[in-house]
């Protein structure tokens, strides 16, 4: 399996770059792609200069298909953004791709072709109900495609209990979903809850049933709780608290530096 995040005692911090709606989506504004690329590059550079380990380039298109599909223009645009970010950052900076809602094959293709190192999957096993309909993943098809394009080195991080995924119908604990995702081919799992204590309990439960599965916080961290939550997890996707003017805006290097100071202070 691909290695992500690091398991050497360090904490992997991945800043989330939220893109504006891309071409091929209903809320894209014509003529804005160049600006979207520029903001993504500046945000990635800010993350790198601030000491983060990488970035996740994530679409924010407002409405999505629930199928594993992506409009051609949207996929090409994501490739342009990803390529620009990879070229602007160093070799050790990890670049991830997530095309929402669950366009996992297109995400993997972009990462493979454009030099990314991982993808994040909103739903890998089971089903989850989203505002846009039921998301029904097909892990066999996805893993066959991963092999077809020789992308086994691209790590797969699967949400197992988060704002993107909740096991539909009940009957599965977070830990059981994490184990199922691992068996299906996930290299790491991501989870979070609005209540920090619940998040910590979920991490403990995954450690108990699947001790070798790396656990990444799917969100919910900020400068006030990062030390507590990251002491338990292997890494975190970090978004809003690093953005200059709130969710969906450019990432600020000073905020990244302050967050990383906290992370560096966590006892290993």
Distance between CA 262 and CA 103 in Å, rounded?
A: 34
Domains and CATH numbers, the chain: 12-264 (3.20.20.70)
Give mean pLDDT, residues 222-238.
97
Helices (H), 13-156: 33-50, 72-88, 104-114, 139-148
Residue 65 has pLDDT above 60, yes or no: yes
Residue 219 has pLDDT above 80, yes or no: yes
Residues 22-37 pLDDT 10s: 999 999 999 999 999 9
Give mean pLDDT, residues 139-156.
98
Instruction: Work out the pLDDT band at 6, boundaries 50, 70, 90.
Output: low
Place of tokens 């097909």: 138
Residues 157-176 pLDDT 10s: 999 999 999 999 988 999 99
Distance between CA 66 and CA 26 in Å, rounded?
A: 15
**Preceding peptide of 5 cis, ω within 30°:** yes
Give mean pLDDT, residues 189-204.
98
Give mean pLDDT, residues 225-243.
96
Distance between CA 45 and CA 254 in Å, rounded?
A: 12
Q: Which two tokens stand for residue 3?
A: 């290695």
pLDDT in the model for residue 7: 57
- Helices 196-209 and 174-184 pack at an angle, to 10 degrees, of 50
Give mean pLDDT, residues 133-157.
98
Q: Which two tokens stand for residue 112?
A: 């493979």
Query: Which residues is 66 bridged to in the sheet?
Result: none
The neighbour count for residue 135, using CB atoms within 10 Å, is 22
Give mean pLDDT, residues 207-212.
94
For the chain, count helices (H), then strands (E): 8, 10
Task: Indicate the SS3 state at residue 208.
Answer: helix
């Amino acid at each position: 399996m691909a290695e992500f995040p690091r398991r050497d005692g360090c904490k992997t911090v991945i800043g989330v770059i939220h893109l504006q709606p891309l071409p091929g989506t209903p809320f894209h504004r014509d003529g804005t792609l160049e600006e979207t690329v520029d903001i993504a590059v500046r945000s990635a550079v800010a993350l790198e200069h601030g000491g983060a380990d990488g970035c996740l380039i994530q679409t924010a298109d407002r409405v999505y298909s629930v199928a594993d599909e992506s409009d051609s223009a949207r996929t090409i645009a994501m490739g342009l953004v990803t390529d620009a970010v990879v070229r602007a950052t160093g070799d050790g900076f990890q670049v991830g791709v997530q095309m929402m809602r669950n366009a996992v094959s297109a995400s993997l293709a972009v990462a493979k072709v454009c030099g990314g190192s991982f993808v994040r999957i909103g739903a890998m096993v089971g089903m989850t109900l989203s505002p846009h309909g039921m998301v029904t993943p097909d892990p066999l098809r996805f893993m066959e495609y991963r092999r077809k394009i020789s992308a086994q080195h691209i790590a797969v991080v699967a949400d197992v209990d988060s704002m993107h995924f909740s096991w539909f119908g009940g009957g599965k604990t977070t830990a059981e979903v994490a184990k199922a995702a691992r068996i299906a081919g996930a290299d790491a799992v991501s989870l979070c809850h609005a209540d920090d204590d619940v998040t910590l309990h979920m991490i403990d439960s995954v450690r108990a049933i699947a001790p070798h599965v790396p656990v990444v916080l799917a969100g919910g961290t900020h400068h006030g709780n990062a030390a507590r939550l990251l002491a338990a997890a292997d890494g975190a996707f970090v978004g809003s608290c690093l953005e200059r003017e709130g969710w969906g805006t450019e990432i600020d290097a000073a905020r990244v530096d302050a967050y990383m100071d906290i992370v560096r202070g966590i006892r290993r």
